[in-house]
């Protein structure tokens, strides 16, 4: 890490990045934002904009169940429960028993209530309240290794599954006629999103994870003319929002996560203006 820190000190503003925690936060942004930017494009295409919100809320339940079961590793509890929750949402959605937004809303509210019920017992919730807003400044070098691994896995699966995911989102019937297992592809995608959300939740926060996943993708969709441009715009906007928001939060003394999301919101507003001018 010392070599990376030395490079960062040579090219970054000395005032904001003289502290190691700011360097770690910037590296986390550079690892998190491309991953969330890519996954956000498919979440928008699949009309599952609130899916990550439901998964974020399920993190509270995952930690609560981990406490009940005696698990010491909060991240493991969140990952396991998040994957199970995501698969359940996917299977019920595929059954056609209700619309996607209704199913996601039901799961989201249920996970919030269950998480609060468990964590509030004995006044323990204050210990986990930081999950609501996250703290990217608390990223450690070990956490960066987990994020690097998550980004590598996401990129690898993205390359392998991209065409199938895109065709499934555009025309599921055509995809099935081409021999694509659309149900398995969709469930695989939601599991991938669940893993990304759970790995990010401690630094982005339950209240902000959905915005950071969706805003860059929604802005990119307004600017792009094809699916490749959509992915490129989404990743670019996510990374620029992350870097700008982190630097601004230092100078303005504000929450890093909230400032990053507001930067992404400004990009979305600008994309709407560009889209209007084009029309």
Is 219 contained in some domain? no
The pLDDT mean for the chain works out to 83
Annotate 226-248 with three-state secondary structure. Answer: CHHHHHHHHHHHHHHHHHHHHHH
Is 277 contained in some domain? no
Domain count, the chain: 1
DSSP 8-state class, residue 224: -
* Helix 182-204 and helix 209-223, axial crossing angle in degrees, nearest 10: 120
Is 116 contained in some domain? yes
Is 48 contained in some domain? yes
Is 271 contained in some domain? no
Overall residue count recorded for the chain in this entry: 279
Is 180 contained in some domain? yes
pLDDT digits (tens, 9 = 90+) for 89-103: 888 877 877 777 788
Task: Tell me how far apart the alpha carbons of residues 257 and 244 are, in angstroms, rounded to a whole number.
Answer: 11
pLDDT digits (tens, 9 = 90+) for 103-142: 878 888 888 888 778 777 756 666 666 677 777 888 888 8
Is 183 contained in some domain? yes
Task: Tell me how far apart the alpha carbons of residues 139 and 124 are, in angstroms, rounded to a whole number.
Answer: 23
Range of the domain at 149: 23-204
CATH number at residue 179: 1.10.3470.10
pLDDT digits (tens, 9 = 90+) for 145-186: 888 988 898 889 888 888 888 888 777 788 888 888 888 888
Least confidently predicted of 2-6, 157-161, 220-224, 268-272: 2-6
CA 4 to chain centre: 25
Q: pTM score, two decimals?
A: 0.84
**Percentage of residues of the chain with pLDDT beyond 90:** 17
Task: Tell me how far apart the alpha carbons of residues 104 and 126 are, in angstroms, rounded to a whole number.
Answer: 27
Q: In 10 A of CB 276, how many CB atoms?
A: 9
> Which residue's entry shows tokens 């490129």?
232
pLDDT at 106: 85
Is 94 contained in some domain? yes
Annotate 155-170 with three-state secondary structure. Answer: HHHHHHHHHHHHHHHH
């Amino acid at each position: 890490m010392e070599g990376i820190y030395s490079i960062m000190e040579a090219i970054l503003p000395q005032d904001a990045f003289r502290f190691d925690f700011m360097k770690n936060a910037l590296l986390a942004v550079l690892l998190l934002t491309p991953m969330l930017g890519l996954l956000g494009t498919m979440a928008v295409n699949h009309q599952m904009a609130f899916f990550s919100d439901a998964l974020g809320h399920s993190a509270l339940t995952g930690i609560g169940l981990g406490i009940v079961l005696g698990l010491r590793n909060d991240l493991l509890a969140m990952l396991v429960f998040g994957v199970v929750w995501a698969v359940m949402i996917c299977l019920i959605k595929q059954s056609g028993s209700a619309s996607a937004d209704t199913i996601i809303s039901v799961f989201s509210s249920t996970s919030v209530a269950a998480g609060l019920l468990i964590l509030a017992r004995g006044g323990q919730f204050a210990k986990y309240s930081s999950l609501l807003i996250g703290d990217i400044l608390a990223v450690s070098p070990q956490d960066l290794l987990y994020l690097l691994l998550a980004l590598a896995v996401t990129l690898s699966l993205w390359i392998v599954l991209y065409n199938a995911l895109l065709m499934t989102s555009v025309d599921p019937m055509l995809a099935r006629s081409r021999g694509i297992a659309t149900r398995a592809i969709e469930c695989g995608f939601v599991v991938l999103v669940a893993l990304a959300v759970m790995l990010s939740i401690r630094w982005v926060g339950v209240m902000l994870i959905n915005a950071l996943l969706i805003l860059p993708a929604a802005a990119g969709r307004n600017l792009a003319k094809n699916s490749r441009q959509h992915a490129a715009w989404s990743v670019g906007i996510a990374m620029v929002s992350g870097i700008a928001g982190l630097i601004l939060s230092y100078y303005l003394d504000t929450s890093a996560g909230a400032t990053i999301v507001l930067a992404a919101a400004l990009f979305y507003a600008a994309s709407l203006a560009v889209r209007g001018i084009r029309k």
